[in-house]
Amino acid sequence: MLHPWKVTPREAIRIQEELRRKLRLKPPRASFKKIAAGDVSYGRIDELIYAAFLLFTYPDLTLLESASAKGPASFPYIPGLLTFREAPVLLEAFFQLREKPDLVLIDGQGIAHPRSMGIAAHLGLLLDLPSIGCAKSRLIGAHQDLWMDRGSAVPLVEGNQIVGMVLRTRAGVKPVFVSPGHKMDLKTSVKIVLSLCRGYRIPEPLRQAHIFVNQLRGKE
């Protein structure tokens, strides 16, 4: 690990600011054959976090294996610092996978974050793997309107920097917010996310991870 998880919010911010200098936002060096998609779900009446990673072949998306974990939320809910709340349980699930992925896809932000350190960027660094964030909502930045067609996209801009892309993955539905995490660039991130969408708004690996982790929570 690059840092402990039991820190104060002030310390967490300092860690993010230090880690951002380690990000590599460049096109990946190799093609991908296996993708791991991660998502979390919260207990309805307690502070338990349920996490799951599903491993798929790419590009045909055959499910190879799934792994899950659960644990208490040991960090408060603070926008911009959700990694410190969710990542410990997500990592516990990830390390149960028998095979190592070539790419990690996370339901959350990559560099589209106040300190360029969303959960996809943070986990990419910790795992030393290419990573992409695909979020259902915007954390920072502004963007122009985009066409309603599938594949239409506009830049997500914060200050004078493009931090992500607003991407329409299905005609007539709300877009998703794509940003690179680590060992990844924006153009490739968008291309991969769009290739993973099979008729739904959410990329299929994340959609299945979401269903899986909610089923896990429902069994408790």
Overall size of the chain counted in residues: 220
Q: What is the pLDDT of residue 220?
A: 63
Nearest-Å Rg of the Cα atoms of the chain is: 16
Amino acid at the residue 142: A
Q: Give residue limits of the domains in the chain.
A: 9-218
Please determine, for residue 63, whether its predicted confidence score (pLDDT) is greater than 60.
yes
**pTM of structure:** 0.95
Please determine, for residue 29, whether its predicted confidence score (pLDDT) is greater than 90.
no
Query: Alpha carbon of 119 to those of 108, 139, 148, 150, 153: distances in Å?
Result: 6, 12, 28, 26, 22
Please determine, for residue 1, whether its predicted confidence score (pLDDT) is greater than 50.
no
User: Fold for domain 9-218?
Assistant: archaeoglobus fulgidus dsm 4304 fold (3.30.2170)
pLDDT, tens digit (0-9, with 9 covering 90-100), for 80-128: 999 999 999 999 999 999 999 999 999 999 999 999 999 999 999 999 9
